Amino acid sequence: MVNAPSCPAETRLYENGRVIAEDFPAEQVHEKLAAHPNAVLWLDLYRPTEADLAAVAAEFHLHPLAVEDATEEHERPKLDRYPEHLFLNVYAVDVSTDPAEPPFGKTEISAFVTDRALITVRKAPSDTAKFVERWDADDKLVEPGGVAFLLHGLLDVVVDGHITASQQLDEAMDGVEDVLLEEGGAPRAVRMRGLRLRKTVAALRRAVAPMPELVGQAMRKDLGLVDDDLAPYFRDVEDHARHASDQVEHLRDRIEGLLQADLAEQGNALNDITRKLAAWAAVIAVPTALTGYFGQNLPYPGFEKTWGYVQSMVLLVLSAGGLWFYLRRRHWL
């Protein structure tokens, strides 16, 4: 490579089912590939500049539109086909259910898939050791799979991360569900946690939903990327991607249902309070009306008599008490 990228880079070279070189400088990529015509390369670039990508593009004949997408952030998950390579964009995710931590983190990973190299471009900090561990665990697939083996490991790790994130959110909802469905509605802190979970699920869905189609596109026969030996492994990743997508859809429906149930319970509690206030107003209105009547400057039975005062008090207590007892039996109080 004439102009080697200056950004942090990781390298690995596979040949005949084993690693023959790793962590060598990026400027030796051309030399290594020329010396080992049957080898395949993994080259990882962390936050490369336009000049860095231009150097790699010149070496591997990358399409300018794909290079442009690799420099832009917040691209949607996709797989595009170009004359000499494939380009894909995926998101590795990290979910936290701890209220003290950021709820959702994601790493955008762009990748160029050529005949002899998988070139990954990371736009945020992430742990590439997971990819290496997966490749080492599935090293029996290196020889028959070539570059497709490297792509399989990348997609497998990303999709497994999606499943783990969805499971963490499902467990977090278990703790929120019981409180949200309590009588009278949940406390504000619990409702806010439920809204936080809904926001996290929405962000996770944007990363997970396109993955089954993306993996399915990578398996297309006309691409010539995945052979019969690797096809079952890619189908397994596709199945996991569909499972993650279904799980996220279930989580979205579940949290929406919980929040709606809590809102309905709050409405029921408000109706109970309004009914009780109306009932107490009726109880207070009766003695108020009687007092107003006996307070008129008109003679009435017992006017200016002791027994008349007792009579008025008994009437007040009986009328108000009778109304209270009636409303109590109707469960309005």
pLDDT (tens digit per residue) in 130-149: 899 888 887 777 666 689 99
At 114 the pLDDT is 94
Give 229 or 65, the one with higher predicted confidence. 65
Does the structure show a pLDDT above 70 at 102? no
Give 3 or 149, the one with higher predicted confidence. 149
Does the structure show a pLDDT above 70 at 101? no
71, 5 in Cβ contact below 8 A?
A: no
123, 140 in Cβ contact below 8 A?
A: no
Give 212 or 291, the one with higher predicted confidence. 212
Does the structure show a pLDDT above 90 at 128? no
Does the structure show a pLDDT above 80 at 229? yes
* Number of helical (H) and strand (E) elements in the chain, helices listed first: 10, 7
At 100 the pLDDT is 58
At 293 the pLDDT is 63
Does the structure show a pLDDT above 90 at 238? yes
Q: How far apart are CA 191 and CA 260, in angstroms?
A: 11
Give 216 or 281, the one with higher predicted confidence. 216
Structure tokens at 71: 């420099």
pLDDT (tens digit per residue) in 24-67: 998 899 899 999 998 999 999 999 988 899 999 999 999 999 99
At 21 the pLDDT is 92
Burial 232-270 (b: 16+ CB within 10 A, else e): ebbeebbebbbebbebbeebbebbeebbeebeebeeeee
Average pLDDT over residues 219-231: 89
Structure tokens at 286: 């009766």
Average pLDDT over residues 250-278: 79
At 127 the pLDDT is 82
Does the structure show a pLDDT above 70 at 328? yes
93, 105 in Cβ contact below 8 A?
A: yes
pLDDT (tens digit per residue) in 283-318: 777 777 766 766 655 566 666 677 777 877 887 788
* Percent of the chain with pLDDT strictly greater than 90: 39
Q: How far apart are CA 80 and CA 75, in angstroms?
A: 12
At 1 the pLDDT is 59
Average pLDDT over residues 187-194: 76
At 181 the pLDDT is 65
Average pLDDT over residues 233-255: 93
Lowest-pLDDT choice from 181-185, 264-268, 302-306: 181-185
262, 186 in Cβ contact below 8 A?
A: yes
138, 149 in Cβ contact below 8 A?
A: yes
Q: How far apart are CA 333 and CA 313, in angstroms?
A: 24
* All residues at 6 or more sequence positions from 299 whose CB lies less than 8 Å from its CB, including other chains: none
Average pLDDT over residues 96-113: 76
Residue 197 binned pLDDT confidence (cut-offs 50, 70, 90): confident
* Residue 272, phi then psi, degrees to nearest 5: -60, -45
At 262 the pLDDT is 73
pLDDT (tens digit per residue) in 141-173: 766 668 999 999 999 999 999 999 999 888 888
Query: Which among 77, 111, 71 is positioned nearest to 91, based on CA atoms?
Result: 77
